[in-house]
């Protein structure tokens, strides 16, 4: 056992704790917090907008297996 609870944290969560850009992992720039640059902020924004067009639960073909049982 490592005893490190952060080991299971997803990359984004790790980036938060490390105070680095969640997009590329570089040190943040306070002006674009939590990102390192306008570019990374834009990338994330576009990703976010794209995801907004997708309606969750529309395709009901696959279900994640053992998640909460
Ligand atoms: Zn970045």
Q: What is the tally of structural domains in the chain?
A: 1
| 69 lies in some domain | no
Distance 57 CA to ligand 1 centre (A): 31
Distance 21 CA to ligand 1 centre (A): 5
Residue 27 has pLDDT above 90, yes or no: yes
| 21 lies in some domain | yes
| 63 lies in some domain | no
Distance 54 CA to ligand 1 centre (A): 25
Residue 3 has pLDDT above 60, yes or no: no
Burial of 32 per CB tally in 10 Å (0-12, 13-18, 19+) = middle
**Whole-structure pTM value:** 0.50
Distance 10 CA to ligand 1 centre (A): 17
User: Can you give the residue range of the structural domain that contains 46?
Assistant: 13-51
| 29 lies in some domain | yes
Task: Respond yes or no on whether the N-terminal peptide bond of residue 48 is cis (omega within 30° of 0).
Answer: no
């Amino acid at each position: 056992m490592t005893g490190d609870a952060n080991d299971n944290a997803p990359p984004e969560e790790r980036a938060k704790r490390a105070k680095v850009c969640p997009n590329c992992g570089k040190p943040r720039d306070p002006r674009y917090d939590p990102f390192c640059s306008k570019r990374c902020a834009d990338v994330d924004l576009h990703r976010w907008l794209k995801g907004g067009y997708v309606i969750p639960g529309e395709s009901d073909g696959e279900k994640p297996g053992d998640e909460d049982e």
